[in-house]
Amino acid sequence: HIAVLGSANMDLVAYVAKAPRRGETVTGREFRTVPGGKGANQAVAAARAGATVSMIGAIGADTFGAQLRSSLEHSGVDTDLLRSVETPTGTAHIVVDDEGGNAIVVVPGANGTVKGLTPGDEALIASADTLLLQLEIPLKGVLTAARAARRHGVRTVLTPAPAQPLPDELLAATDLLLPNEHEAAALTGIADDPRAAARSLLAQVPEVVITLGAEGSLYAARGAEPVTVPAPRVTAVDTTGAGDTFAGALAVALAEGRPVPDALHWASSAAALSVQRPGASASMPCRKEIDAQANG
Ligand code: ADP
């Protein structure tokens, strides 16, 4: 059983030839609404990967909120602890131009209200094998949840995104830190040397996995040499949500008691499948597909 505490957003994506400058109006080619938010994405990834998953967070009492709840439920995520609040659902306003570049405004909205745990949230975390955390809700909420997990002996996996300085207490309550290369560099000040960045992070957390895009991932634990697990060679069409797919699948494999290198191989198989299809949560593979990719 996996608990996820984090964000749920509706991504509002406009496709244009060239993004407008200040004061300018341009006509777009296409518009899409896409369920997103790192919390919701990781929850969907873990549920598709075959786990029982519950999502703790907040959405607005509005149309986007209702759409997000139903999209989570459609993937099998339990949303009993996803609160409907007065504040509007979080949104990401994304402009994608013809060169594939983007400009994004994120309005946290309801996500900004997740500052603590209800007794029900804490009971759920206590009963989970793993708690997945990211940083798209207030740090106070993340920290409270990490501490609760620690009290109940639940493994915490923290994706430190968006990158920001982390309080020592949060790292102290984290079992596995899961940054991508950029986040690892931001946290340590060490760029272009993931092994050195991982070693530096081990001063504060017992286990680190740094995802390296097409290069795979690097695992480091205290007292052992770091190991690199390569990613399957695939043709990527859309890497949005690759890290979240990886996190969700990794949590499932670890909760099943698989050794970390096996779990990483399985997670990278899941992420490799997701990058070959467009969309974030829409592209996340189910367990059968992950098994086939991992054993193929
Ligand atoms: P994020 O999506 O958070 O930026 P990464 O880019 O590191 O994180 O990707 C996360 C994981 O997704 C990688 O560790 C890898 O397993 C997988 N992945 C990403 N891009 C590719 C790719 N081009 N080919 C194969 N796997 C990929």
What pLDDT is recorded for position 226?
A: 92
ipTM value = 0.98
CA pair distance 85, 186, nearest whole angstrom: 33
Spell out the domains of the chain, with CATH numbers in brackets.
2-17+28-295 (3.40.1190.20)
Burial of 219-232, coded b for 16+ CB within 10 Å and e otherwise, reads: bbbeeeebeebebb
- Using 70 as the pLDDT threshold, list the residues of the chain that sit under it: none
CA pair distance 248, 159, nearest whole angstrom: 11
Catalytic residue set:
244
Q: How far is CA 151 from CA 19, 22, 146, in A?
A: 48, 50, 9
What pLDDT is recorded for position 277?
A: 86
Q: Whose CA is nearest to atom 5 of ligand 1?
A: 213
Does 180 sit in the ligand 1 pocket, CB within 6 Å?
yes
Q: What is the pLDDT of residues 83-93, one digit of tens each?
A: 999 999 999 99
Q: Which atom in ligand 1 lies closest to the alpha carbon of residue 161?
A: 3
What pLDDT is recorded for position 286?
A: 96
Q: Which residues pair with 15 in a beta bridge?
A: 30, 96
Residue 261 Cα to ligand 1 midpoint, Å, equals: 16
Residue 268 Cα to ligand 1 midpoint, Å, equals: 8
